[in-house]
Structure 1
Amino acid sequence: MDAPTLAEHTLRLHADDNVVIAMRDIEPGTYQLPGGGTLDVTDVIPRGHKLAVTPVAEGQPVRKYGQVIGFAKEAIAPGRHVHTHNTAFQMFDREYEFGVDTRPTQYVPETARATFQGIVRPDGRAATRNYIGILTTVNCSATAAKLIAERFRWDALDDYPNVDGVVALTHGTGCGMAGPGSESFEVLRRTLTGYANHPNFAGFLVLGLGCEVNQVSTLVEHWQIPEHKITVPMTIQELGGTRKTVAEGVARIKEMLPDVNKVTRETVPASELILAMECGGSDAYSGITANPALGAAADLLVQHGGTAVFGETPEIYGAEHLLARRAVSREVGEKLIARIRWWEEYTAKHGGSMDNNPSPGNKAGGLTTILEKSLGAAAKGGTTNLVDVVEFAEPVTAKGLVFMDTPGYDPVNATGMVAGGAQVLCFTTGRGSAFGCKPTPSIKLATNTPVYERMIDDMDYNCGLIADGGMSVEEAGREIFELVLRVASGAKTKSEELGYGDEEFVPWQLGAVM
């Protein structure tokens, strides 16, 4: 009986790779190689994991995507499973050739550009949703904020069909921290300001306790909020306690509702969109299917004049040299590398390593090191030029592909990009992340068909069709782009239907807790 063909069971991503990816579970045995010859597979290779196809000497690089993803801890023979037991992260030098891969963007003529049905605010900015927010300055006001928001659930908004909801944005900081001028304080203020300015909020309460470091009064007085946006500052101590605060908050929101409801959707060019891109619960398919497909969708949005932003600095570590090659200027490239150096120092100071990032779920899905994870994560950045690098929660103002410095923790990363102004978010997942991020709708993209089918109530799109051979990356990218436009026009995502998004506001907490 003829030996099975290895190519039918695996995928080779680059000619320089010394590993291939198992597209289904592979049992030990003899397999035919393309071009003749056989390979004796000695280990069980789980779906999504790596199989050595050439010898790798101890200390030598393991290559995937044509890039270094780790180094052999021992000699690895062809036919062996390549994973954490025999491959490790190791620092290595990368050459930063700023801008060598930049190329002119092929913009779609303005008369042919895509559109969506959005809400245009009086200041001209486009919104995809119409929320009222309760923005808390400190954890101490979180319960009161949730009690207020709870009064507007279920059928309480039936008379206001154009209001998407009332959301309490609570968090665990705001006091017990260094004050004005400190990094932690300024990051929190920048995040709160970004949400207050977000076009998807028509109005909001700003709710504090009264004695916290992050004072409502000083926060609000320095804001440059559009005049049309309804803003009501409140503190629990001034109002006389929780019951009175809840009653006052409910009353003030009821006053807002008639005006907030007075919106209509109209045709808006896609160039007004800022698309946030996130990957969480990654697996080996993330860098093969969903992230490249999302990158193709981002390329289309940029070609239509819009903006795509992605972050998770620890999850581009080892791939940053590829992004630097696409930087439009040396200044932009050096901003990116400066953030990489900051993270190296930050993790070392706290006794960690950049390789701490891959989670147990990532590893179970076939990802071995942060280098491998990063190369797959960076794929969602598409192929267009990198036009800017911004700080966490800093406003995204450039058109094109932008990188934001954020942690790899999904809720914190998403919070930063939404604070930066993103009105739609695409979230790729291989293990099955459950997520939402009000006021910005979150579109879930499954990397593989089993996860899509198992979590059909959470997933909006199946990028596993690429691995199954039923679709190309470019075709999936086109469909994701069109899905983004539909969601921007008001179509509900699965996470919105399930009610996700109230608990995922997580500002990046830096510095000591005092």
Structure 2
Amino acid sequence: MSFTIRLHVDDDVLIARQQLIAGAVLPDEQVRVLGLVPPGHKIAIRDIAVGAPVRRYGQIIGFASQAIRCGEHVHVHNLAMGVFERGAADMACADARPTVGVDHAATFRGIVRPNGSVATRNYIGVLTSVNCSATVARAIADRFRRDIHPQELDGFPNIDGVVALTHGSGCAVDAEGEGLAILRRTLAGYALHANFAAVLVIGLGCETNQIERWVEVEGLTTGMNLQTFTIQDSGGTALAVERGVQAVRGLLERANAVERIPVSASHLVVGLQCGGSDGYSGITANPALGAAMDRLVRHGGTAILSETPEIYGAEHLLTRRAESQEIAEKLLQRIRWWEAYCDRMGADLNNNPSAGNKAGGLTTILEKSLGAVAKGGSTNLVEVVEYAQRVTRRGLVFMDTPGYDPVSATGQVAGGANLICFTTGRGSAYGCAPAPSMKLATNSALWRRQASDIDINCGNIADGDVTVDAMGEQIFQSILRVASGEKTKSELHGYGQNEFVPWSLGAVT
């Protein structure tokens, strides 16, 4: 096996498969290593002048901040961001091609709700209108924890659990502003989510995010499956907790009366995430997940790509695949919004990658984005939606979200994602109730070190044991099993309730 990986004939760098030592010769390239190069990091294969572009994946990932010699480690000390034209608008739709479907869609064992939506899990949810009601919501859900009060759910094997999803907002915000509108849209997406058999929504009573107004604005209907009350109207904390517990008990028999039946994979909506990325992410797990999503789309399903700051610099690869000029322009509008947002906040889009990303070999946001966008596969981009907006198109959809994983995935689930696939090179700890979250390792070292947290090892691609396409088929089959009820590692660990983080946008007053 080669010591390095070449990704494109035009690249100026190779990726180290293992620790490279000064003086070693890379036989495939006849390059002598100058200094230490950690695994997953880049090594120059030619001399690069100061100011010259540096390419990986055949794309520009930055510019040499100092002269780089052939054989040197290429990273933050000699590679920096720069402004250049990527042709995102001029070449829009250039690579769009009709998607060829399959004759017989794959199936999974899903739960069909009365409205025709299909669930991959069967929870009862306890949501909050405001941070002030978080303690009550958690106390209600804790009364139904199988590890503390197993008797509460005895006899209800078809219920996956009772979960409290709380947040830190809902008051001291503009009642007519964008921030509250996003929170309301997010809560509504969860209240209507197929993976919830029923939902309680609990408020304090005096908050800005009034429950009655939320129900009206979002066009919701309260009843048996969507119950609401406030702490103040219930007579305080203890009485509110008891009211909630009794409400849940009244829902158990009905929520348990479901069965899993074979349904088309077209009912799957998969949110795509990457966190704790490293230099292997764009080589192994991300393109393998993309291959799985190509399969899902051909079977009539939906993939949601997100994290707008983490496709920055690679947006031209998506606009080229846009189904129409209008869809391409929607994506570019969101890019421009983020550029203006960062200017307004005194921030820099290149403050992403994180410290862990850089330790794993990623240098600039351009490099990270080119790897991250591979999760979306190769099919047409059929729609661009805003944060937590309901996804109604089937195929590859882009949702505008921050790059912070909990916030991003929260928006995807609110938009209808009934399963999350999460690639990681450093070992992220994450779950996403009510949607199961699958973890994919980018490298075999992580798999060996943290196998109790990871569902699939994609490091075999870098090891030379399997192709990207073959791994994509493995991921697709695993998605079908998880959607049918097989528990993921994050579910077994109990992750999911603390990772509900709606995007907090707007002034707090």
Q: TM-score range by the shorter chain?
A: over 0.9
Structure-1 residue corresponding to 2:194: 199
Give CA-to-partner distance per residue, 1:19-73, whole Å, 9 cap, x none.
00001000011415437xx322111000000000011111111110000001100
Q: In the alignment, which of 263, 266, 273 is matched to residue 268 of structure 1? A: 263
Structure-1 residue corresponding to 2:162: 166
Mapped to 1, the partners of 2:223 and 2:4 lie a distance apart of 57
Helix, strand or coil at the partner of 1:299: helix
Mapped to 2, the partners of 1:217 and 1:106 lie a distance apart of 46
Mapped to 1, the partners of 2:471 and 2:311 lie a distance apart of 23
Q: In the alignment, which of 392, 397, 406 is matched to residue 397 of structure 1? A: 392
Which amino acid counterpart does residue 148 of structure 1 have in structure 2? I
Q: In the alignment, which of 34, 39, 42 is matched to residue 34 of structure 2? A: 42
Residue 91 of structure 1 and its aligned partner are, at CA, apart by 2.2
Mapped to 1, the partners of 2:424 and 2:224 lie a distance apart of 35
Structure-2 residue corresponding to 1:113: 105
Q: In the alignment, which of 445, 464, 480 is matched to residue 459 of structure 2? A: 464
**1:446 and 2:447 correspond:** no
Mapped to 2, the partners of 1:51 and 1:25 lie a distance apart of 11
Residue 157 of structure 1 and its aligned partner are, at CA, apart by 1.1
- Return the TM-score normalized by structure 2: 0.97
Give CA-to-partner distance per residue, 1:328-366, whole Å, 9 cap, x none.
000000000100000001011111111001100000000
Give CA-to-partner distance per residue, 1:132-152, whole Å, 9 cap, x none.
111101000001100010000
Which amino acid counterpart does residue 425 of structure 1 have in structure 2? I
Which amino acid counterpart does residue 172 of structure 1 have in structure 2? G
**1:176 and 2:172 correspond:** yes
Structure-2 residue corresponding to 1:3: none
Which amino acid counterpart does residue 105 of structure 1 have in structure 2? T
- Aligned-residue sequence identity (percent) comes to 59
Report if the CA contact (8 A) 2:185-2:218 is conserved: no
Report if the CA contact (8 A) 2:215-2:221 is conserved: no
Which amino acid counterpart does residue 277 of structure 2 have in structure 1? S
Give CA-to-partner distance per residue, 1:407-441, whole Å, 9 cap, x none.
00000000000000010110000000010000000
Which amino acid counterpart does residue 22 of structure 1 have in structure 2? A
Mapped to 2, the partners of 1:248 and 1:325 lie a distance apart of 54
Residue 217 of structure 1 and its aligned partner are, at CA, apart by 1.4
Mapped to 2, the partners of 1:146 and 1:244 lie a distance apart of 14
Q: In the alignment, which of 305, 312, 317 is matched to residue 317 of structure 1? A: 312
Q: In the alignment, which of 358, 362, 383 is matched to residue 357 of structure 2? A: 362
Mapped to 2, the partners of 1:104 and 1:372 lie a distance apart of 29
Report if the CA contact (8 A) 2:270-2:303 is conserved: yes
Give CA-to-partner distance per residue, 1:164-215, whole Å, 9 cap, x none.
11111100100111112x1101111110010011000111111000111101
State how many pairs are aligned.
Answer: 503
Residue 99 of structure 1 and its aligned partner are, at CA, apart by 0.4
Mapped to 2, the partners of 1:33 and 1:389 lie a distance apart of 45
**1:135 and 2:127 correspond:** yes
Q: In the alignment, which of 13, 21, 40 is matched to residue 19 of structure 1? A: 13
**1:152 and 2:147 correspond:** no
Structure-1 residue corresponding to 2:70: 78
Structure-2 residue corresponding to 1:94: 86
Mapped to 1, the partners of 2:33 and 2:267 lie a distance apart of 52
Matches within 5 A, 1:328-347: 328-347=323-342
Residue 92 of structure 1 and its aligned partner are, at CA, apart by 1.8
Mapped to 2, the partners of 1:499 and 1:455 lie a distance apart of 16
Report if the CA contact (8 A) 2:108-2:264 is conserved: yes
Report if the CA contact (8 A) 1:197-1:226 is conserved: no
Q: In the alignment, which of 234, 237, 246 is matched to residue 241 of structure 2? A: 246
Cα separation, partners in 2 of 1:222 and 1:348, compared to 1, 3 Å:
closer
Structure-2 residue corresponding to 1:301: 296
Give CA-to-partner distance per residue, 1:247-283, whole Å, 9 cap, x none.
0000011001110110001110001111111000000
Report if the CA contact (8 A) 1:358-1:373 is conserved: yes
**1:291 and 2:291 correspond:** no
Mapped to 1, the partners of 2:326 and 2:361 lie a distance apart of 36
Cα separation, partners in 2 of 1:306 and 1:228, compared to 1, 3 Å:
farther
Report if the CA contact (8 A) 2:2-2:28 is conserved: no
**1:126 and 2:118 correspond:** yes
Helix, strand or coil at the partner of 2:158: coil
Mapped to 1, the partners of 2:202 and 2:173 lie a distance apart of 18
Mapped to 2, the partners of 1:92 and 1:241 lie a distance apart of 59
- List runs of 5+ in structure 1 lacking aligned partners: 1-6
Residue 233 of structure 1 and its aligned partner are, at CA, apart by 0.7
**1:31 and 2:28 correspond:** no
Helix, strand or coil at the partner of 1:243: helix
Structure-1 residue corresponding to 2:473: 478
Report if the CA contact (8 A) 1:438-1:501 is conserved: yes
Give CA-to-partner distance per residue, 1:465-513, whole Å, 9 cap, x none.
1111111000100010000000100000000011000101000001111
**RMSD (Å), alpha carbons:** 1.2
- List runs of 5+ in structure 2 lacking aligned partners: none
Report if the CA contact (8 A) 1:122-1:228 is conserved: no
Mapped to 1, the partners of 2:68 and 2:299 lie a distance apart of 47
Report if the CA contact (8 A) 1:62-1:70 is conserved: yes
Mapped to 2, the partners of 1:427 and 1:291 lie a distance apart of 9
Give CA-to-partner distance per residue, 1:420-465, whole Å, 9 cap, x none.
0010110000000010000000000010111111111110000001
- Return the TM-score normalized by structure 1: 0.96
Mapped to 2, the partners of 1:228 and 1:298 lie a distance apart of 37
Residue 228 of structure 1 and its aligned partner are, at CA, apart by 8.2
Mapped to 2, the partners of 1:160 and 1:417 lie a distance apart of 29
Helix, strand or coil at the partner of 2:453: coil
Report if the CA contact (8 A) 2:380-2:396 is conserved: yes
Helix, strand or coil at the partner of 2:321: coil
Mapped to 2, the partners of 1:212 and 1:30 lie a distance apart of 65
Mapped to 2, the partners of 1:226 and 1:473 lie a distance apart of 46
Q: In the alignment, which of 417, 420, 427 is matched to residue 425 of structure 1? A: 420
Report if the CA contact (8 A) 2:222-2:228 is conserved: no
